[in-house]
Amino acid sequence: MSVLLAVLLSQVDGGTLITAPRQAAPGSSVVRGADLVTTERDPGRAFRQVPGLARSSPGTSDVVLWGASPGESRFFVEDIEVPSLLHLGGWRSIVAPALVGRLEVAPGAFRADLGRSLGGLVKLGLAELPTGAHVDTSIDLTTASAFASLGSERVRGSLSGDFSLLPTVFAPLLQGLARDRYPLPASVDAQGRLWLAPTERDTVDVLALTSSDESRQQVASADPSLTRGQQRTGWFARVGATWRHGESDDGFSVAPFVGVDRQNRTVLSAVGQATSTEQRWSAGLRARANGSITDWLTLQYGVDAVLGRTAFGRTGPPGFPSREGDVVAFGEPLSNEVAVDAWRTTAVDAAIWSTADLSLGPVTISPGLRLSAVSSDVSRASVRIAATPPLGLSSLEVLLEPRGRFSWTIVEGLRLAAAAGLTHQAPDGADQSVVFGTPALLSAQGAHAALGASVVAGFIAADATGFWRGSTGLAVRDPGALPAVTNALLSTGEGRAFGGQLEVRQRAWHGVSSSLGWTVGRSERRDGPTATWRPSDFDQLHSLVATVVWQPGAWRFGARGRWATGSPRTAVIGSYVDVRLGVSEPLFGTQNALRLPDFLQVDLDAAYTFALWTGSLEVFLSVLNVTNHRNVEEFAYDSTWSTRGALLGLPLVGTLGLRGAW
Amino acid sequence: MRARPFVLVLCACAPAFVDQPWLVTSPRLIAVVAEPPELPPGGHATVTATISQSGIAPSWARCDVAAPLGQNEPVATSCLSEPSAAAPTALDFALTVPPDACARFGPDVARADDRPRDPDATGGWYQPVGLSFVGQTSFAFERLTCEPAGVTNDVAAAFRHARTPNRNPRLTVTAQVEGRDVGFEALPLGQAVAFVPTLDDPETFALIDPATFTLTSSVETRTVQWLVTDGALDLATTRGQPTMWQSPSSAGQGTLWGVARDSRGGVAVVTQPLVWR
């Protein structure tokens, strides 16, 4: 169970902290609560606090689980796959707070029903809609949100949405370079939901959601020709339904969805402009059935499939956009080479899976198997020469992935657990350009393993987990000046991550609950079997999160502290002048041998809830970074790359807001 | 419900560099001019460096290794080593472009499965030339005349017929105070002086559209970079418009450089002594 979520649950029910459903696998978090409340003010964003997840910089929505690159993890709202659970910049989640009912974080070693990912999985479950008429609105420094629902025992519906206030509130307050360099995205999301219970044993939950982001960033210069900037827009929509029949241990569910995504990115640099566009249509289906064969054997089996058809367009240097392993510095101009390509991919990743749970007294053994078929079609696999018609490329892979889990309750309150499995991730269509990438890329392979122990003693619970992750076949750049045609990327990359995490949670006692989570780990990459391992761009050695909540009556006070090792960076050790453009270019030292300084932040939160005759009104005050610690979020350099400065994170910031519910 | 967010404290979070790219206070490479600025493989050019301080000459070394695909910086790291003792040292360098330059840096490929290099936005590929002095390393780039890749024979023939090798721009600079011309040898103290560039007409050049592989044309864009040894400039680079120079408040003399660059690698430099009194 995650640190923060443990606290959240403790606010709902003091006993829930310890007795909530246990983690599904070592290191995983599965929390169900009817009324999540968070010191974050945004429960959908609370998963960023869990152990095993590296801290990401403000301005990014990266999610790094057990050292996996952000693109290696997948995100779901119920069974609907979404590109991210966070808006651009990571400031808010993509659903209104009142809709959030459950968060599941599986950093790795997941069961056979989950897959298609080298990294972890994060699932946001929806809250049960209430009967009657309800309105829940809130407003704070970052967001205004609204939720309205109407329902009976059999039919319930809701409409909700969030609107970002960041550009309106923050932009006028930031000055000069800070305003230019910190993107403050304009974000909007909306959700519509319809829940039906046609029979006692059947429910149908239909969800439509959409999310939109736009971010503009510009770095001014004393030399106007060196002014550079970036604009990103993203939009997606999903419509999905979940039909559930029977009980959770003897029934089935079917969850189809369809969706569309659009992403655009433009980078302006001293030598020109680079653009990237992406439009994806997708459809998916997840179905599962559960059944008890005997008292000691239950069986789960199902289907997990997703189809995506994506059109890509890209103009810019071959290294655009940058990827893990690229040696770049903040603010560095792009190469002046210009390549152009437009391509389409159609990808299917379909799996059937089955898991058995054998309960043998204190021991539970859960073997599982997942059989996947990965199909990839690329519209062009040969270089465009004159008027030659395009020749496409198709590939089909069949992958068998065993999964296993073992649990042993040694004595009451002490349990050992282990889990391991193989997984894969289909090639990213964005890497299958004939010009920018390699159309013939195949799936990357991964293996996860975790070993954990859980202890419950009185009102204290603790989990210790060790983890290991390995992956092969990762797409990396060909280091040569003249790579083979249509092979700008090679499938020779390897990754590994290993470490441990410790969580200690204290159940509510006189209104006080607390938790502590510490993750120590390494994430490393190399470009080929003979290359030297190096820290990955997302390596974070330590991450420590501590949370305390006190709830005396209508008051609620919270404090949260976080300390994390700085992310790796490559030092600039010199420069040379490009006389053609009159600009300096950086010279780099050993890749990722430098680190940003450690991060430290303490936040305080206070709220008071007034009971009104038809509802409640909460007034809350949040103070972020109360110690005003000068956290270095990025290194920045002057125009000659001779002086290194620091872009600092949030200073002491306080916000006051209201939340009303009727 | 009405509500209002409040921000208690917030401050700027970015480093404040004193970035004055136009100020020359130590020996510095101002510009490198190649004549001619574009060559076919095997061609010869004279490359001339302008350095802010007389009596200093750089050592030269041609770079024959292309940077890895995907690297942002334009020069391979193997070309960044110290020049050998045998490297020529002079303000001028006689450059001979290697016969296989279009294979090393351009669209020609030695093997059928090699990936051709991508051109810049003007359809150009470039041969790097390194020069070093007093611990500074710089690279000039000679534009290469290469055959286009990936086009039909008709488009290639039309391109060969239409293309014109790049020429260096021509630049002159005058000084004005409140709209009236003044001499560089008698600039007023403590006033705003406009340095006004005059450029010849920009060249129109043939270009293969990288998206459609058809022949098109474009017009050069040109900038003027300004450097001074004293005073303060409001713009370090202009696109044909003047830059304003705030002259010092006490008498003195210095140097102004104007460096015109076209988008195809052509360069012109004006070195103008200044006297303010």
Q: Convert the pLDDT of each residue in A307-326 to its tens digit.
A: 999 999 999 999 888 899 99
| A123's tokens | 């699932």
Whether A249 has its CB under 8 Å from any CB of chain B: the answer is no
Mean pLDDT value across residues B80-97: 80
Q: How many domains does chain A have?
A: 1
Of B38, B121, B105, residue with least CA distance to B67: B105
What the block records as the tokens of B236 is: 């370090």
Put simply, the chain A residues between 402 and 441 with a CB less than 8 A from any chain B CB are: 435
B154 within domain boundaries: yes
Contact B29 A224 (CB under 8 A): no
Cis peptide before A43 (omega within 30 of 0): no
In a domain, A141, yes or no: yes
Least confident of A46-50, A332-336, A508-512, A566-570: A46-50
- What three-state secondary structure class fits A97? helix
Highest mean pLDDT among A56-60, A94-98, A550-554, B225-229: B225-229
* Numbers of helices and strands, H then E, in chain A: 4, 36
Residue-level pLDDT at A582: 83
CATH code of the domain in which A432 resides? 2.40.170.20
Which pTM was predicted? 0.90
Task: Find where tokens 């898991």 sit.
Answer: A355
Res A218: pLDDT: 67
Q: What's the pLDDT band for B14 if we cut at 50, 70, 90?
A: low
User: What pLDDT band is residue B138 in, cutting at 50, 70 and 90?
Assistant: very high
Q: Does B235 touch chain A (CB under 8 A)?
A: yes
Mean pLDDT of B72-101: 85
Beta carbons within 10 angstroms of residue A92's beta carbon: 30
**Domain count within chain B:** 1
Rounded to the nearest angstrom, the gap between the alpha carbon of residue B25 and the centroid of all alpha carbons in its chain is 20
Residue/partner pairs of B218-223 with CB below 8 Å, 24 or more apart: B218/B122, B220/B122, B220/B262, B220/B263, B220/B264, B220/B266, B221/B262, B221/B263, B222/B169, B222/B260, B222/B261, B222/B262, B222/B263, B223/A225, B223/B260, B223/B261
Q: Are A346 and A308 in contact (CB under 8 A)?
A: yes
Q: How far apart are CA A587 and CA B161, in angstroms?
A: 41
Residue where the block lists tokens 């990357």:
A444
| In-domain check, residue A108 | yes
Tell me whether residue B21 is in a domain.
Answer: no
Q: Which domain holds residue B152?
A: 29-276
pLDDT bracket for residue A240 (50, 70, 90): very high
pLDDT at A129 over 90: yes
Residue A383 has what pLDDT?
A: 80
The answer, for B147 touching chain A at a CB cutoff of 8 Å, is no
Pinpoint the alpha helices (H) of A86-133.
none
- Among A507, A518, A510, residue whose Cα is nearest residue A460: A507
Q: Which backbone phi and psi does B79 adopt, to 5 degrees? A: -90, 0
Distance of CA A232 to the CA centre of its chain: 18
Edge to edge, what strands does the sheet with B171-177 contain?
B180-182, B171-177, B192-199, B243-246, B232-233
Give A587's contacts in chain B (Cβ within 8 Å).
Answer: 73, 77, 80
Residue of A nearest to B233 (CA): A222
pLDDT band at B10, cuts 50/70/90?
very low
- Whether A160 is covered by a domain: the verdict is no
Tokens representing A121 are 């999985």
Give the per-residue pLDDT at A1.
Answer: 29
State both tokens at A576.
């040379």
Residue A560, CA distances (Å) to A140, A507, B75 in order: 19, 16, 47
Contacts of A174 in chain B (CB under 8 A): 10, 12-13
Higher pLDDT, A176 or A468: A468
B25 touches chain A (CB under 8 A): no
Q: How far apart are CA B55 and CA B37, in angstroms?
A: 25
Q: Which domain holds residue A376?
A: 3-150+165-217+232-661
Q: Using CA atoms, how far apart are residues A271 and A397, in angstroms rounded to an integer?
A: 42
Whether residue A488 has pLDDT greater than 80: yes
Please give the pLDDT value at position B116: 86
Let me know if A206 is exposed, middle or buried by CB neighbors in 10 A (0-12, 13-18, 19+): middle
Supply the mean pLDDT for chain B: 89
What integer pLDDT is reported at residue B8 of this predicted model? 33
| Contact: B31, A579; criterion CB under 8 Å | yes
Chains A and B form CB pairs within 8 A to the count of: 244
Q: Are A46 and A5 in contact (CB under 8 A)?
A: yes
CA distance linking residue A582 with residue A577, whole number of Å? 7
Residue percentage of chain A with pLDDT more than 70: 90
C-alpha A579/C-alpha B30 separation (Å) is: 8
Residue at A223 is within a domain: no
pLDDT band for position A221 (50/70/90)?
A: low
Q: Does B239 touch chain A (CB under 8 A)?
A: yes
Kindly list the distances between the CA atom of residue A211 and the CA atoms of A85, A98, A109, B62, B152, in Å, as whole numbers in the listed order: 10, 16, 30, 53, 45
Band of the pLDDT at A61, cuts 50, 70, 90? confident
Q: Which of B13, B77, B118 to mutate to test the interface with A (most CBs of A within 10 A)?
A: B13
**What CA dihedral angle connects B145, B151, B157 and B163, to 10 degrees?**
-40
Q: Specify which residues A373 forms β-bridges with.
A: A350, A398
Q: Using alpha carbons, select from A641, A644, A514, A525 the residue that is nearest to residue A576.
A: A641
Q: Are A238 and A211 in contact (CB under 8 A)?
A: no
CA angle A325, A331, A334 (to 5 degrees): 65
Across the range A296-317, mean pLDDT stands at 96
Instruction: List, for residues A156-173, the tens digit of each pLDDT value.
Output: 999 999 998 878 877 666
> Quick one: pLDDT at residue A97?
83
- Residue A473 inside a domain? The answer is yes
Closest CA to A493 of A122, A74, A72, A62: A72
Q: What Rg, from alpha-carbon coordinates, does chain B have?
A: 23
Contact of B124 with chain A, judged by CB distance below 8 Å, is answered with no
Task: List A residues 495-554 in contact with B (Cβ-Cβ < 8 A).
Answer: none
- CATH number of the domain bearing residue B72: 2.60.40.10
A27 in any annotated domain: yes
Mean local confidence (pLDDT), B9-27: 68
